[in-house]
């Protein structure tokens, strides 16, 4: 999968390095490169291509829609939308 490859090949910069090279990191994202940002050696953020963010949003929306469809098809008790969203966001898959 292409997205997995993107994350595997990601460059890493510290927050200090990011301050000094933000324009370069943004240029890398425009070339479909991912940059992981670290603070004190821990990964805390990522600068990703906008297409990767769009794909993530689309995936999340499809998962919520699938949960809603499954709930409606089951004919059981209605599940509040807040519960559906909370469960979806809590998943670590």
pLDDT of 12 over the 50 cut: yes
What is the per-residue pLDDT across 31-87, written as a single tens digit (0 to 9) for each? 999 999 999 999 999 999 999 889 988 998 888 888 777 777 766 567 777 887 787
Q: Which are the contacts of 13, defined by CB distance < 8 A and separation ≥ 6?
A: 21, 25, 35, 36, 37, 38
Q: Quote the DSSP letter at residue 34.
A: -
Question: Is the separation of the CB atoms in 92 and 63 below 8 Å?
Answer: no
Q: State the pLDDT at residue 85.
A: 78
Domains of the chain from N-terminus onward: 2-48 (3.40.1620.10), 53-90 (no CATH)
Count of other CB atoms within 10 angstroms of residue 35: 20
pLDDT of residue 68: 75
pTM assigned to the model: 0.60
Hey, is 5 helix, strand or coil?
A: helix
């Amino acid at each position: 999968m292409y997205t997995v490859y993107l994350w595997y090949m990601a460059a890493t910069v510290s927050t200090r390095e990011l301050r000094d090279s933000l324009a370069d990191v943004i240029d890398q994202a425009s070339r479909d490169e991912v940059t992981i940002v670290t603070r004190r050696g821990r990964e805390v953020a990522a600068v990703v291509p906008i297409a990767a963010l769009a794909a993530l949003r689309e995936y999340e929306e499809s998962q919520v829609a699938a949960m809603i469809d499954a709930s409606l098809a089951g004919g059981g008790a209605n599940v509040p939308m807040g519960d559906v969203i909370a469960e979806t966001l809590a998943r670590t898959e």
